[in-house]
Amino acid sequence: MRWCCPRKLFVLAKAGFLLWVLWLGYVLLARSSFHSSPSSSGEEEDHDLVARQLSAQEVEQLARPLYVKPPPDHNTPGEMGRATHLNLGPEEKKREEDSVERYAINIYASDKISLHRHIQDHRMKECRSKKFEYRRLPTTSVIIAFYNEAWSTLLRTVHSVLETTPAILLKEIILIDDYSDRGFLKSKLEDYFSNLDRVRLIRTNKREGLVRARLIGATYATGDVLTFLDCHCECVPGWIEPLLERIGQNATTIVCPVIDTIDWNTFEYYMQTDEPMIGGFDWRLTFQWHPVPEVERRRRKSRIDPIRSPTMAGGLFAVSKAYFEHLGTYDMGMEVWGGENLELSFRVWQCGGSLEIHPCSHVGHVFPKKAPYARPNFLQNTVRAAEVWMDSYKQHFYNRNPPAKRETYGDISERLLLRERLKCNSFEWYLENIYPELHVPEDKADWHGAVRSLGVNSDCLDYNSPEHNPTVL
């Protein structure tokens, strides 16, 4: 028993010594790790930097278009979107005037401009710096219908799409020739497009008009998204990504680019650098541009957020192919073009979708000096839109368009069944929730029509809403 206590002390001392050794090792290891941490941190930062650089290189490769534009030649007419001014002799001037008479566009000047010209990117800086996850964006088929279009404006449109749209996103360009009768649009055009990848030319066997021609193109499309363009456009780099990203976020949205103006005479490119306008209409069912209302400005969190628009111009927009078919595509009873833009605008809003303009997507459009061909069925088209979608508010349209009351507009029973099947909202709902800025006139029975001056037959009494213009003679 005498040795029991010393033995216990010996065991305790040994355990204490081992604990001290372990503690000392921990301290030395911790100090060593502390001193080496800046080096480790630096190695991690270097690794992250390399990863970011590789990612940037990959993104650049993913954003690469199918064809790359040749370097800009600043000595050529119209380069970088500048105006084209030509010094012409009498014979050349006559040819220029003839081209304007034939196309309502100065095609003589257009022929002098490169088919691959560059457009200076003056979009908002937030748009230019925005990054996209290209592998997650839906693909698109670009559909372009044309009828007797000039050679240079048509080809410049096609090259513009090929040279500004990332190859990973572009399924194809589908061109629908709506029974053109000009010789250069026959075998010569086929030969030209046969040398371009992802370009398909489809010809109708009779005149169909814009609406049905576009639908023919849509049936051949293999992309997730249908992007409709006119046949005299030029796309700014970065135009398609915002449209596809937005549809990827919300497939029930129709998204339009900002439509910049290309001068019909000089081909100068005018880019809208500030807040774009939105679409509206008056009670004659005429499309109009309007400033963005204050309530919409407050709703958006950033100036590059999409802007809700009551209507669209109709020539340029993107839509999910599946949603477009669900929504009933175009009204096949409409002829040529005109009115289909308002009809589709009413339908998408009233039937649960939305219509937006994306401030980061810019496409230039040549607005002709006048309509290049007649639109005899324009009034019929607008009457169809009014009868299907406007409910009792269509009377305001008829009051301002007396000839429309006598217009035959065909069978609309299928469109009315479509409205019922989609459980669409009323036109009153549309006015209250989508376009409350539109003044609704207080028409009274027998108190509408035209008031004309007996002295000056060319003048009549016109009326706009009080906040826009007073009544004027």
Do residues 78 and 84 make contact, with C-beta atoms less than 8 angstroms apart? yes
Mean pLDDT of all residues in 41-53: 45
Least confident of 134-143, 192-201, 390-399, 447-456: 447-456
Does the pLDDT at position 137 exceed 90?
A: yes
Please give the pLDDT value at position 375. 63
Least confident of 37-46, 289-298, 389-398: 37-46
Residue 451: pLDDT band with limits 50, 70, 90: low
Tell whether pTM > 0.75: yes
Please tell me the distance from the alpha carbon of residue 20 to that of residue 17, in angstroms, as a whole number.
Answer: 5
Mean pLDDT of all residues in 456-468: 58
Q: What is the pLDDT of residues 54-97, one digit of tens each?
A: 477 888 899 999 999 999 999 999 999 999 999 999 999 999 99
**Higher pLDDT, residue 333 or 264:** 264
Please give the pLDDT value at position 25. 61
Please give the pLDDT value at position 442. 83
Please give the pLDDT value at position 370. 87
Beta bridge partners of 233: 365
Average predicted confidence (pLDDT) for the chain? 88
Does the pLDDT at position 367 exceed 80?
A: yes
